[in-house]
Structure 1
Amino acid sequence: MRSLSSIFALLVAASVASPVAVENLQSLEAREANVYKRFDAVNPLSKREINPSTVNVLTPVQLTDQRTALLLAQSETAREAILFPNAPNAANDTFQFINNTVTPPTGGTIFLSTINNFPALGSTGLSQAVGFVNACGLNTPHWHPRANELLTVVQGSLIGALILENDTGFGNVVGGAAPVIGPYPQIETTLSNYTGMLFPKGLVHWQFNPECEPAVFVAGFDVPDPGRVEAARGFFSGEPDEVLEASAGYSEFLTPAQIMGLRPTLTSSFTSIVQSCAKKCGIPYA
């Protein structure tokens, strides 16, 4: 099978922004402000007011204490006493999803509620994410090692894609199936408003907003701690560099020097903007 690095190199190309020279910084900032003012005027939902009564206020120590107490509780009555000590106050049973990246040139943000920041989920087998995807924003290729995900677009549209598993062929084994050469098959579709897509546990997937207006999605997971692994960062975190070079299958395709150059530029999740889309939408790209 052709090496995984040829796939991940494509993922990196999609998830790493190439700097473009900017002649006038003040002019760039003014253009950015005007572009996003227009977006906000067309889509007031791109910014959301925060309900002060539901803002997540527990400190890390309080979160740990609450998780521990709920884990040790042996009855529903005991759980309710921990979650609702001051009825009718529902603070421990609500979670505020916050859109905190509406300023360019950010691609967007994901706000995830899991057992880590919302202990009430501990015994439910559930968690949830809300993704705020700015124009041309890319939720970089990743997978969830412990959860299936059902994602539904609730504003705008997104391209959703996943890379399928292909386990036919296990190398050049005498009498065995021939190794499969080439990239893993990919499926993709455009998700319009209120359309959902299933991303099975362990499969690499991504979402991209190809439009010039913001999009929003809600995603549910079937465990309270789904995890997230960035495909490109996960691969290029491997050591030593010769291991990654060998896995590429082509010495001229990926050298240790290229690997060293790529590592510092890899993005964290959901911060990339696709350059061709940015050009189409008139978004400053730097």
Structure 2
Amino acid sequence: MGKAARKKGPKKDRKPKVRDVFVARPFEGLAAEPELIALREFVPSATAKLTLAADADRAVTLGTVLPMAAAAFVRTDGEVFLGMQVQTRSSDISRDLGRSLRWALEAGPGDVLSVPDTTSEPAEGERLQDLLEPGAELDVQLHEDFSWWLPEDTEASGEVAMSLERANAAIMPTERLGPGAYWVLAGEKAHLRWVWPADENRLLMALARLSAAGEIGLGEGSRYAGSFRAHGLLVPVWDLDPEAHAREWLEPSQQLGSRLEAALKSLDDEPLNAAERRARDGLVGRQLTLR
């Protein structure tokens, strides 16, 4: 006898799988892209008010690091905070931050979101580009410690106090010299880290043009050290005289910025010559690892 036929049950409806694609340049399209990258990667203690595309009356503060590296929280006085430097991430940091921001806007005083939502399927309207005014710049405020975590006249206790102590101990003196440009005193060394919102290849060519002309530095006591990549943009780094105060590099950095802008524009009409191409090859080999 043949085998008995098996009855087939009804097919279960399956949700279509949403492809989760890695976003190499998560903040593209936002005017604040350089500042967002700097606050995410290397600025220790800073805050900035966000301009929402909707609910413009809502006040949201973007912070570099929140207590226990939380993704977002609402202070007991009702002020909403969104954290940039967190321990986990998905393939799209802008989506992580957008989800945390939406959570914070609906949370109440004292609520904390420990980690961002990195597992839900991607959906429309949940990235920073959807939630923030795209043309708004960030007015970054640097702080010497993390006392801004707490309302005025409030003392930290428990885990928050321990987190505050650890965070304060890790701060390196930092000054903002311009959009995306930050001076930092790292032990016995000082650096300028500068996030440029330009295509990586064009920026390298512009830097090579300045290098070949002997104009890539900020003057005496400075040296071009190399560059590193961060969220789709190239971040050039200069070593600076640690004995000089940050404000002494303000004018030289502005002059360098003007030279770099001019070099970028010149690429449209004048390709690199042989010396500049050799300089570019040398710059490509000087990639840094930020620690």
Higher relative contact order (CA 8 A, sep 6+): 1
The structure number with the bigger radius of gyration is 2
- Coarse TM-score class (shorter-chain normalised): under 0.3
TM-score, length basis structure 1:
0.25
* TM-score of the superposed pair, with normalisation by structure 2: 0.24
